[in-house]
Chain A
């Protein structure tokens, strides 16, 4: 039974991807890859999604720690706030970002005062992506912290380790796989972000036209171009996701083998 259901899910998830890949020839794909517009979109997607992930991890890790380890007034409100971007339709998120950080937004004047403009800029893309990706990372990181067995932290405490030391030597390393997986999920969400980006940051090749936007625009006039771009984005994402999942363990195994004395 489980096998049948798993099989059905595999079809649901796998068939669209297989059909997509089958629609395009490798030759055509290589041609597309050399188009400046495509390269721009790929570069923009890579740069913005990585920047957004860095922001989300940098700001989100402390938040995840607090949520996992401490109780404080307003904790429930903070939890709801963090989950919000996940339930908001992306375009709504975009509108919300505009009303907050747009030129006439609540924080708009403050931002322009320090010379920061967000709409129609690459920075705006990063903000939009970080907004939607944050809940994914924070949720995973928090779960990672919570799952660490307390006895290890207690042992660290009895050995008089400061909270910082306990984090660096015990909690962090033990939660690392979950944190890494959370970062990968957040990165994937940032890479695929469309609705908030096009609404908040706009659509301009080289500045804000990430791959998902390029696909959507291509879809308006040239289905083959849209398919080619979609496949490129798919291969791109797949490569990096596989590297993240398989890479560290493979690398470790390679190093171990290299260390063994030759026979």
Chain B
């Protein structure tokens, strides 16, 4: 009988434990950021915490599309940093973001192959070879969309066959839901090649992969907008984090992680 009684007590205690949404500890800024921002934002989080003792920064890194869907469903975030305009616009349409959504950093794409280069890929043209195992992000993921744009640009150029993009896409063996999964498959040597951001070729990753440059003319300039959410619980702290990211120190950190900083004048003209 006592056993049953204990279970009943535990059940009665449930309402106190259950709350509509998880409450971050007071003085926590929750940042939802694109997967590619993982390393740089973690560093900026540490900087922020040093500058604002008593406040912690909590990150959630995933494909921008996944984060947008989560926020739409009520996930509590104070700041959203997206890898493309599309998912920021999506949140604007849903009324979760208002006002300024400035671009705070840019990025370029790169093709990576395992160091052992099992498919002997040395030039972009080699990607059309039948049987090449290419891994891309799914089309809804920003880098997936950018990758397909790059392939289209190459196909449209005179030095590449007009069906270049179609033939390369025929070699895709897996569509990942964030860029870091693409990196992992190439790192593990399972994929022959993958298209990721230049910033993903970190020193740690470089031990296992080689990067192939995509000429500027065919590359895309990925633009990362950032915004404080309308429903932000710690709006002031959130704004301070955004200021840090957009300020000179944030830009320096991003640049050190191989992102392309927005110019100082750009940052100043978007308050």
Contacts and interface: CB of A to CB of B under 8 A. Distances in A.
Q: Do A and B bind each other?
A: yes
Interface of A: 1, 5, 8, 98, 102-104, 119-120, 202-204, 207-208, 216-217, 219-221, 223
Given A204-B173, A220-B65, A104 B189 contact: yes
A207 B65 CA distance: 24
A120 B140 contact: no
B174 A208 contact: yes
Closest 10 CB pairs of A and B: A202-B174, A120-B173, A221-B140, A104-B189, A220-B65, A119-B190, A220-B140, A203-B175, A102-B190, A220-B66
Contacts of A221: 65, 69, 140
Chain B interface helix/strand/loop/mixed: mixed
A102 B140 contact: no
Contacts of A207: 173
Given A102-B189, A203-B175, A8 B138 contact: no
B177 A220 contact: yes
Interface string B49-68: 00000000000000101100
B189 A203 contact: no
B173 A219 contact: no
A223 B69 CA distance: 8
B7 interface: yes
Interface in B64-82: 65-66, 69, 72-73
Interface of B: 4, 7-8, 11, 63, 65-66, 69, 72-73, 116, 118, 133, 135, 138, 140-141, 172-177, 185, 188-190
Contacts of A204: 172-175
A1 B185 contact: no
A99 B173 CA distance: 19
Chain A interface helix/strand/loop/mixed: loop
A103 B190 contact: yes
Contacts of A220: 63, 65-66, 69, 138, 140-141, 177
A114 B7 CA distance: 57
11 contacts: A8-B11, A102-B190, A103-B189, A104-B190, A202-B135, A202-B185, A220-B63, A220-B66, A220-B140, A220-B177, A223-B73
